[in-house]
């Protein structure tokens, strides 16, 4: 599992023009990405010595364009791009994993 740190970039595209590629946690102007939100939060707390507020407002996803979106905005993108077959109000990283435990984020 690799956690990456990227600069914050707000999403400005159209939902059906992109796909979600990584789960993300935003802390100030830094976005940490990985496969699951819980793994990212553990990494940030342990390796970066940052204890984030663990609420839904810091958790989201990164699009193929490298732009960060909060969970609520990602549901439509995941559904319209075929990454999930059901529309979920607040998307979780687990919602994008297949039955074999592999991420459907690529």
Q: Is residue 103 part of a domain?
A: no
This prediction has a pTM of: 0.75
Task: State the Cα–Cα distance between residues 82 and 100, nearest whole angstrom.
Answer: 17
Please tell me the predicted confidence (pLDDT) of residue 7.
63
- What stretches in the chain show pLDDT beneath 70? 1, 6-17, 51-56, 98-106
Please tell me the predicted confidence (pLDDT) of residue 101.
62
Please tell me the predicted confidence (pLDDT) of residue 84.
83
Q: Is residue 106 part of a domain?
A: no
Q: Which residues contact 6 (CB under 8 A, 6 or more apart)?
A: 30, 31, 32, 33, 62, 66
Please tell me the predicted confidence (pLDDT) of residue 53.
65
Please tell me the predicted confidence (pLDDT) of residue 14.
57
Please tell me the predicted confidence (pLDDT) of residue 104.
64
Q: Is residue 101 part of a domain?
A: no
Please tell me the predicted confidence (pLDDT) of residue 32.
92
Q: Is residue 22 part of a domain?
A: yes
**Containing domain of residue 58, as a range?**
4-96
Could you give the number of structural domains in the chain? 1
Q: Is residue 33 part of a domain?
A: yes
Please tell me the predicted confidence (pLDDT) of residue 23.
92
């Amino acid at each position: 599992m690799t956690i990456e740190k990227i600069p914050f970039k707000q999403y400005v595209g159209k939902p059906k023009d992109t796909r979600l590629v990584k789960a993300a946690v935003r802390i100030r102007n830094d976005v940490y990405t990985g496969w699951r939100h819980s793994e990212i939060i553990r990494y940030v707390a342990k390796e970066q010595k940052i204890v984030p507020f663990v609420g839904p407002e810091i958790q989201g996803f990164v699009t193929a364009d490298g732009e960060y979106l909060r969970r609520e905005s990602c549901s439509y993108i995941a559904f319209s791009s075929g990454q999930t077959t059901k529309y979920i109000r607040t998307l979780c990283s687990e919602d994008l994993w297949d039955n074999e435990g592999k991420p459907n984020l690529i």
